[in-house]
Structures are given as structure tokens and as C-alpha cells.
Structure 1
Amino acid sequence: MESPRSTDRPTLVSRATRIDPPAFRAAFDALDAPRTVWSAPGEATVVAGGAAATLTADSSDRFVAVRDAAEALFRSGDVHAGTEAARPRLFGGFSFHADRGERDGAVAESEAAAVPEPTGADDGGGAWSEFPDARFVFPRVQVTFADNGVWLTVNAAGPDADPDAVERRLDAERESLSGLEDETPRPPRPGIEARRRTTTLTDWRAGVEEAIDRIESGRLRKVVLAQALETDLGADLPWGATLERLAEAYPDCRRFCIEPDAGGTAFIGATPERLVSLRGRTVETDALAGTTGRGETPEEDEWLAEELLADAKNSHEHEIVVDAIRDQLDPFAASIATGQRRVKRLATVQHLHTPITAELNDDHHVLDLVEALHPTPAVGGLPPDAALDTIRATEPFDRGWYAAPVGWIDAAGNGSFAVAIRSAVVARRRATLFAGVGIVADSDPDREWDEVQLKYRPILDELERD
């Protein structure tokens, strides 16, 4: 496809202005579906609504398909952002497994496309029925909470990319959102009426023992096995309030909310694990593997952290992840630096954490790196193909987007992606939670079961009644 001539109509129009800060929950509730929330340490928080364009892919080459469609969308843009944080971006993610669908290519749809009525996840179609192998939204309206103020961005794409119309929309949205306040007190947590495990303890023990047999036979070095927990809620889940509480409890995590076009369902999480961020040729990523709980006193907490650092099983699991990430980055990197291993403390758990940075040997799109790094051994295993075969043979549920890349892309090919753990698919009165653990040769099935239950807590705590 040839690049448009300068006299051609732009494929994308974006306008931004500073506004009086609205309350987060009020802005979230006021925006149209599909809504998106992205917040990460060192980055601006974005709350977005509507879809000026949607890129989807259901194929094994989903990373390339989305990258090509994104580059086509951004190829001819008329952009006035006001500040870098308010620039137009695509937000979305991918499925964990590559072949949940096999339609070729990525498709961009303008906001003029019909949006079906909300159905939610309670229609028997499965928790992931509204989530393709890849989906990214170019939002119509974006509210960005940045260090230099709060910014409103209005976007249009395709036939609707008219600068005058976008300016008028910007004025209208500014009038609607500027200084918007929460009109009601924060709703309480909904409570849980019923729970259903997709994996029994007996089946879990058998699966872990089978994985250990594969490791001892040399077919595997490590595999991450997960569970799903389905819950029925006692009241409607207040998405905005839940995201607020996650932000308060996990300020050092990457929080996200991704809502399909139909609305009624969303994928939410507060993940401690960054997959990759790219700015220019500078790459930042993390190795996060090895887990223990939090202590009831500062002294117990410190003792648990020191025990984690000294534990041979957790150290081995962590070192596998560090080495694999370095190997995955090596084809792209002029240099790679590994930081000092430390303990990362969260509200309910502590993890071994090693920061990794790299300088690229050439210009690369962030999705090139996402494809190279996913799945990391922290959520998949080694060797990757053998680990994925073990996961498919063992887990009795669809991972969907759990433990997969979620994040954003900009016109320069920069971006930021997290590994979507500590997450759940939520609907009006249902939530399906996901959590997993790394299995190595000396893993104990019962200890690993207990660790999974601990990793449910970030989301489970926001569902259980006060």
C-alpha cells in the first residue's frame, strides 16, 4: 500500500486539550464502551472510551498482523497532542495461545460499524467469547492523567477523520468531562455467593507430578501450570470502584481494564510483571519468578524475604527466567544489562525480581519484542514448545488472555506491555479469576496449590464483601 500524498485526507485525526481533573471513577463511568484503563509505574494513567478504529487478528501471525495494521492506521495522521502523554495510542492485547482462531490478517473497522447490544459473559458463551486472538482499540475519547495535568484527547479514523468534526467533539467532551465529580459514595464490594474450581486438588497433584516426570526425563526444564476460579457475585460488580481499589492496594503494579466492543464483560488486573517497554532503542523488562507470602509483622516479613532469596528452588526458577529473557532479547540487542536481584513486595505476596535493560542494534517495533518475549518462562516454561504442550494437556480451561501481553502502541512503534497475571474476566455478577505457579524438578504439589490460592488474593479481595 502506498503512503498517502500530502494532499490526501488523513487516515487519522487527533486533538487534545488540558482539562480540569475529573474524578477517575466518574470519568470511567461516563465514557462509552468499549472502555480501556491503563496505568503503570512511571507512566500516565489513561481512561478511554469508544472505538474510532478496532484492529483484530485471529491467526498464528497475530503480532505481525496487528503491527502492520497499526502502521497503516498511523501512516497519515493529523495530530495536535499538546503533550506527549496525550498522543494517540492503540490499547489492547493478545491471547496466550496462538491458535484460538485461524482467520488470516488484521482488520481495522471505523467507529461507524454497528455495535451489538451488551450480552456479558453470563450467556453461556464462555468467559473469553468476546476476546479474539488479538484486539486493539484506537479510542474515540481518551482522558490522560499526566504529571503536567489532565488531558482530553479526541480521535477519529477512516471516513470520520474530519478535523472540524473532531474539534467540535473535543469541545463537547471537554464540557462533559472537565471537573466531573463522583456523584455517589464508592459502592461496596459485591460479595461472593458461589465458587467453582476448574481443577480439583487431586487433578492438580496428578498434573504437577506428570510435569515433574517430564522434567526428570529431560523433556522439560520448567512449566507454569495455572488454575481458574469461577465466582458468582452477590451484587453487581462496580468496575470503576474496583479499579480504584486496585490502584490503592497495588500502586507499584500495572493496572488494566479492557472491555470488548459489546460491553458487559471486561478483562481486569493488577500485574506486578512488565513484559517489555520500548522508547526509541531503549528496552526495559523484568524477570519476576519465585514467590512467598507476606509476614504478619515487619520482622516476619523480612525473614520471609531473606528465606526467599536463599531458597534453592525459587532461585533456580528465577535464574531460568533471567537467562531466557536475555536469550530472547539477544538477536535485537547491541547490549544487555542485568540489574541486581531483589525482593519485590506486594500487598499479599513477595517475588524475586531482576530488572533487565537493553539497547537495540536497530530500529524495531515494540511488537517485534512482544512476539520474541511471549511467553516468558515466568508464565510458560522451557523449552517453550514442550511447556505449551504440557499446559494444553494439563489445564482444563482456556487461558484466553490470561498471562498474555496487554498494553499500548504509538505511531513511532514505541509501547509498553505487561504480562496479564493477577487478573480476571468480570461481568455484571460473575468473575473468573486466574493464577499459576512455576513447576520445576523439586516442586511440591501441595505447596504449589497453596501458592496459587495466594495469587488469587489481589482480585478476590476486591470481590469479597467488606
Structure 2
Amino acid sequence: MYADDLRQIRWPAAAAGLDSSARLRHLAAGALRTGRPLAVWREPGADHPRLLVARSLEASYTGLPPALDAKAPAGFAFFPFRDSDHNPALFLPADFRYDLAEPETVAVAAEAREVIPGLAAWLATPQVEELAWNYSPQPAPRGATEAEYTALVRTGVAAIEAEEVVKVVTSRAACRPLPPGFDPLAAFEDLSEKYPRAFVSLVSAPGVGTWLGATPEILAEVTADGMFHTMALAATQPLTAEVTPRTAIWRQKEIEEQALVARYIVNCFKQLRLREYHETGPRTVIAGQLLHLRTDFAVNLKQVPFPNLGTDMLRLLHPTSAVGGMPKGAAMQFIHTHEGYDRAYYSGFLGPVNVSAPGVARLYVNLRCLQLRPDEAILYAGTGLTVDSDPEREWQETQLKLQTVAAVLNHDH
């Protein structure tokens, strides 16, 4: 932990027999029992997850994307695809945190000192087996059939042919029954093992529900050495023994789809009159059992006169053309008119800001995710359409993408 105003609370001797995962579970149980929002996440390539708990839901609401600078509050962003009363934009302040790399202490922020007595008492209580996860009060979206989704794709292609949009990203929900005894924290650990290169997350908040995911796509990142990063990630094909990053061949439709996303990012830089960026790619990358085309963009913040670049780019980027389309306004209107369900937090963004260190932020597009309901999971997947899109292939692409997070529903936890 980095800040002088963090109070370190040591686990009591009574917890000596608990490993770090059991301690994380115990902290999560206490947060859920008292109605406090929480986020658990594991960074790509990291060995240990982190837990963050906000002292109250009231302290968590925010309308604007977080500021990506060292002086901004520390917390975890959880933003919807489209902000609404049903899907509030959340920024969970890092009131107390637990890093499994430092398993003996819980850090409490100065603003949350009043929770210390209750937290210390909770740490000393016996473990709770059942965790009271939050569920959204909104009706569960209905899953689209193959006929419905392919019809949506045809409508999207017709809109492109009519020059109403250049590109649009259509998506669908799918409902899957939960296996008996489904355990979201165990599923989080399962996803972390299956997808070491993904950003794996579990977020639960009153009124918002519980969301679990493993996403490959960075929206905006500011690193400790003063670099800003974003990426254009698009086009999909399955990873097989025969088709690897070295041997993959991409169709014109997929190359064009990815180029449109890259062009969208360059246009965001142009809006800020920034020319000093480094572009790498496109190259073929692995995400779970899928291959994508990716172009990386980097800016050295120490060498450009844009101190708020991270914040400004975040506000311009979301929702990117990789989840909405181009032009943004027309694509968003098409989705609102034709998609037929509420995406909620799917294709929004999430991630920590100033938690590991001041000025370090990593925000990801919320892809490959599910929403937890009492007896079922709502899964989400989408595809980017161009004039050459084939409805049946787009349906199959969503089927492939659903498999990433559906893997944790295939057996008991």
C-alpha cells in the first residue's frame, strides 16, 4: 500500500489458520452482509487478486468517468454501456482493501476510519459459509434466438448499405441455468486460472447486481512510468491446433472491422490535437480460446503538453466503436432502436484507479461477462458488422464468445 493515510489492520490470531483466499472470502461476506459494494479483480499476468470495499453505496455514485491522474481518488470504476437510472455509473472508493500479496493486513482509508471497530470485530468472528450476493432489481433480459439475432444482423447490414452507419456492433443476451451450489468467488478463481492474460473481475453492489467476467480489452491505461495506453481490438476467429497467431489468415471483412476501430482511436487523438502517439500493429493475439486483431497505441505523457490526456481520452473513447459503432451517435441510436434489450454493464468499462499506486489506472471494456441472477446467469456477446457481414457467421461468433465465461457454468463449484 502506498498512501500515508492508510491504516493497516492486522488479522487477529484467531484467523491464523485461514489462508489468504479464505480471508478474502470472509471480508467479502462481511461487506455483503452490511450492504457495502465490493470489487474483486486480478490483473493480467498477476499472481494475486485484490479486494476493494466501499463504505457505502451512497459514497459510490458518480456521473462522470473517473479522472486518471495521481491526485484523483483511489477506487474501482464500474460503468455501464449507457448511463441511466437503471444502470448507474459507479466509482467505488477504496475505503478498505485487501491484497492477497500482503495477506496479514487490511488497509483502511482515512475517510472510512469509522468502520475500523466493526471491521476488527468481523475479522475475529468465525467464517460465514453463505455469501449474500446482490441481484439487480431490473427484469432479466430475454435471450435472443438464432433467428432473432440473424435478423438483427441483416437489419444492421441494411443500415450500413443505406449509409445510415459505417459500422455497428450488435449484441445479444443468453440465459444459462446456474449449476447447483454455484459459488461466484470460486468461479472467479476458475476464470483467473483459465485466462491468465485477461482482466478477471467480480463486482457486487446493491441495486446493480453481481457481475463476473474475464476481458481481454484495455480501454485506457496510465502506467507508473507515465505512459498512456489504449488498443483497437476487433475481428474474431477460434484458436485451434491449426490456426494460431502465426498462421491465422484474416478475411477482408475482419481487417476492415479492425481498421475502423483503430481509426476511431486516431480520431479521438485528433480531437485533442495530439500527434505524438505510437501505433503498433495490427497483430494477431490470443484471448481465451479466440484470436483477435489488435493495434496498440501509446503516448508518453512526459513528452506531450496534455496533463489530462488519460481523463480526456477516456471520455472520448467510451463507448468505443468496438462496442458501439461509427459514427457514434448513429450507431448508438441503431442499437437503442433495434437491439431489443438492456446491455446494462456489458460493454461498459471497469477497473482500478490509483489503487496500486498514485497515477496508475487500468480500465477495461467489460466483455466476456455474465450477470448473476438467483437461479441463472445472463451472458452477453456481440459482433462488429460491416457491409460484408454474414448473419450465420455473426451468430457463430457470438456462440464462441459466450463460451469464454460460460466455462465456469459447466461444472459445480
TM-score interval w.r.t. the shorter chain? 0.7 to 0.9
Q: Distance between the aligned counterparts of 2:398 and 2:316, measured in 1?
A: 27
Task: List per-residue Cα deviations over 1:196-239 (Å, max 9, x = no partner).
Answer: 95222222222211211221222211111000012232423201
3-state SS of paired residue (1:56):
coil
Pick one of 303, 311, 323 that aligns with 2:251. Answer: 311
Q: Distance between the aligned counterparts of 1:398 and 1:183, measured in 2?
A: 33
Answer whether contact 1:364 1:413 (CA < 8 A) is retained. Answer: no
Unaligned ranges ≥5, structure 1: 1-11, 75-88, 102-128, 185-194
Unaligned ranges ≥5, structure 2: 131-139
Aligned to 2:40: 37
Answer whether contact 2:284 2:294 (CA < 8 A) is retained. Answer: yes
Answer whether contact 2:236 2:293 (CA < 8 A) is retained. Answer: yes
Aligned to 1:109: none
Pick one of 142, 152, 158 that aligns with 1:213. Answer: 158
Answer whether contact 1:28 1:35 (CA < 8 A) is retained. Answer: no
Answer whether contact 2:229 2:296 (CA < 8 A) is retained. Answer: yes
Task: List per-residue Cα deviations over 1:321-354 (Å, max 9, x = no partner).
Answer: 1111122134164511111322212332111122
AA aligned to 2:24 is A
Aligned to 2:134: none
Pick one of 61, 65, 69 that aligns with 1:56. Answer: 61
3-state SS of paired residue (1:301):
coil
Answer whether contact 2:150 2:394 (CA < 8 A) is retained. Answer: no
Pick one of 380, 403, 409 that aligns with 1:434. Answer: 380
Pick one of 62, 71, 75 that aligns with 1:90. Answer: 75
Aligned to 1:15: 7
Q: After TM superposition, list the pairs within 5 Å mapping 1:218-367 onto structure 2.
A: 218-261=163-206, 265-279=209-223, 281-295=226-240, 298=241, 300-302=242-244, 306-308=247-249, 310-330=250-270, 331=272, 333=274, 335-360=276-301, 361-364=305-308, 366-367=310-311
Aligned to 1:465: 411
3-state SS of paired residue (2:228):
strand
Task: List per-residue Cα deviations over 1:37-57 (Å, max 9, x = no partner).
Answer: 122226673112352562214
Q: Distance between the aligned counterparts of 1:404 and 1:169, measured in 2?
A: 34
Q: What displacement does 1:375 show?
A: 1.2
Answer whether contact 1:366 1:414 (CA < 8 A) is retained. Answer: no
Aligned to 1:155: 109
AA aligned to 1:329 is F
Answer whether contact 1:237 1:429 (CA < 8 A) is retained. Answer: no
Distance 1:336 1:161, change over 3 A: same
Aligned to 1:135: 90
- The normalised TM-score by structure 2 is 0.81
3-state SS of paired residue (1:441):
coil
Distance 1:196 1:327, change over 3 A: closer
Q: Distance between the aligned counterparts of 1:42 and 1:232, measured in 2?
A: 30
3-state SS of paired residue (2:308):
coil
Q: Distance between the aligned counterparts of 2:273 and 2:44, measured in 1?
A: 25
Task: List per-residue Cα deviations over 1:133-174 (Å, max 9, x = no partner).
Answer: 21121244311244x8876312252xx546xx75x6786677
3-state SS of paired residue (1:461):
helix
AA aligned to 1:439 is L
Q: Distance between the aligned counterparts of 2:370 and 2:159, measured in 1?
A: 30
AA aligned to 2:197 is D
AA aligned to 2:106 is L
Q: Distance between the aligned counterparts of 1:149 and 1:25, measured in 2?
A: 10
Distance 1:176 1:453, change over 3 A: same
Identity, in percent, stands at 25
Q: Distance between the aligned counterparts of 1:234 and 1:45, measured in 2?
A: 24
| Matched pairs, number | 379
1:395 pairs with 2:339: yes
AA aligned to 2:77 is G
AA aligned to 1:48 is L
Distance 1:445 1:63, change over 3 A: same
- The normalised TM-score by structure 1 is 0.72
Q: What displacement does 1:274 show?
A: 0.7
3-state SS of paired residue (1:335):
coil
Task: List per-residue Cα deviations over 1:72-131 (Å, max 9, x = no partner).
Answer: x84xxxxxxxxxxxxxx2113111113x23xxxxxxxxxxxxxxxxxxxxxxxxxxx5xx
Q: What displacement does 1:318 show?
A: 0.8
